[in-house]
Amino acid sequence: MPESRVAVIEGDDASPEAVKPTVEMIDNMNLGIEWVYPPVGAQGEALHNSIFPEEARQLIDESDTTLFGAASGKSAFALVYLRWGKQTYANVRPTRFMPGCQSPLAQPEGVDFVIVRENLEDMYLMVEGAIESLAPADLVSPILQKKVAELGPGKYAVKVITEAGTERVARYAFELARRRKTGGRPGKVTVASKYNMLPQSDGLFRDVTARVAESYTDIDFEMMIVDNFAHYLVRSPQELDVVLLPNLYGDILSDAAAGLGGGLGLAPSGAYGDDYAYFEAVHGTAPDIVGRNIINPTATMLSATMMLDYLGFKEEAQRIEAAMAAVYREGRFLTPDQGGTARTTDFVKAVEGKL
């Protein structure tokens, strides 16, 4: 009997080139993981005229977790199910500098923080439309003192922040800070939003997180406007521990954080709900390097170690991370994005060799 069942969606473009060797490497560790492959259909195909095929949904439901490659076309449907269908509300994106990585910082040592991005709300409900269609709502911009519908041809987008959605992700962030504190981190949560310009929606995010903070007196708490936070992120990343952001800011600033750590090729993520979690690299499908066997698999491999941790294979996750750190320290088998000439599979083999 397998100990765990993992659904694998290899993703699009260059993504499978990172996912396949990662799965192979873990499979070689004989942890009793059964890998299943939900069918996501051909590129651009509208499967069974529905957003996502039933068979794939079932395989995901019957698995303990999903390892997901980056999506552009077909696999994007799966991502919608993994996020909104499985209510994976906390998107956890760690940035930890590994010596040997090509960080643009002069002194990247000690950078070790985690962005927790709210994963389901904000601008990502895809509610947009024509400005003229707002006429019946009679919305007035307090700044322009004018009806929005009268601004001329254009589009609007809706931003939604709910109390319950904010509270659950805030609790997740504080619990994470507590867990990290037991591992020697400072125990701090930094929250940022644009509450000066959006006092209702981002103001709610601020107020709810401040309320949650009151029940975590052992964790330091700081609140800032998101543009100040962007500055702080670049100037003093070593001072950060856990960062909590609404969806859109979290999406953008976690790519910036990945850049600080050494690039998109290194940045992992896990998205956690109360009953399910999936794991994927922060980067996209890297279409410009498809088929060349040079995509850096580090982001996918680190996402897989987060997955192993989630499944209870904590020691194995640590072993893989230590092996990767050793390969970076030695610097002999690095992919081109990190200044090396190694191919994807060479890097994975080098890590395997250290296990």
Task: State the residues that interact with ligand ATP by CB under 6 A.
Answer: 70, 72, 264-265, 283-289, 295-296, 299, 337
Closest by CA to 272, choosing from 95, 115, 86, 123, is 86
């609790």: which residue's tokens? 171
* Cα–Cα distance, 331 to 109 (Å, whole number): 17
Q: Which is nearer to ligand ATP, 86 or 283 (CB)?
A: 283
CB 48 within 8 Å of CB 20: no
Q: Which is nearer to ligand ATP, 12 or 202 (CB)?
A: 12
Joined tokens for residue 132: 């003229």
The nearest distance, CB 247 to ligand ATP, in angstroms, is 16
Q: Which is nearer to ligand ATP, 311 or 320 (CB)?
A: 320
Pair type for strands 4-9 and 33-36? parallel
The nearest distance, CB 254 to ligand ATP, in angstroms, is 12
Q: Which is nearer to ligand ATP, 19 or 244 (CB)?
A: 19
Q: Which is nearer to ligand ATP, 53 or 265 (CB)?
A: 265
Q: Which is nearer to ligand ATP, 190 or 300 (CB)?
A: 300
The nearest distance, CB 241 to ligand ATP, in angstroms, is 26
Q: Is 103 exposed, middle or buried (0-12, 13-18, 19+ CB in 10 A)?
A: buried
Closest by CA to 116, choosing from 238, 269, 263, 318, is 269
Q: Is 50 exposed, middle or buried (0-12, 13-18, 19+ CB in 10 A)?
A: exposed
Closest by CA to 119, choosing from 89, 97, 145, 144, is 89
The nearest distance, CB 281 to ligand ATP, in angstroms, is 6
The nearest distance, CB 125 to ligand ATP, in angstroms, is 20
Q: Which position's Cβ is nearest ligand ATP?
A: 284
* Cα–Cα distance, 189 to 4 (Å, whole number): 32
The nearest distance, CB 73 to ligand ATP, in angstroms, is 10
The nearest distance, CB 104 to ligand ATP, in angstroms, is 14
Interior angle at CA 354, CA 348 and CA 355, nearest 5: 90
Q: Which is nearer to ligand ATP, 12 or 241 (CB)?
A: 12
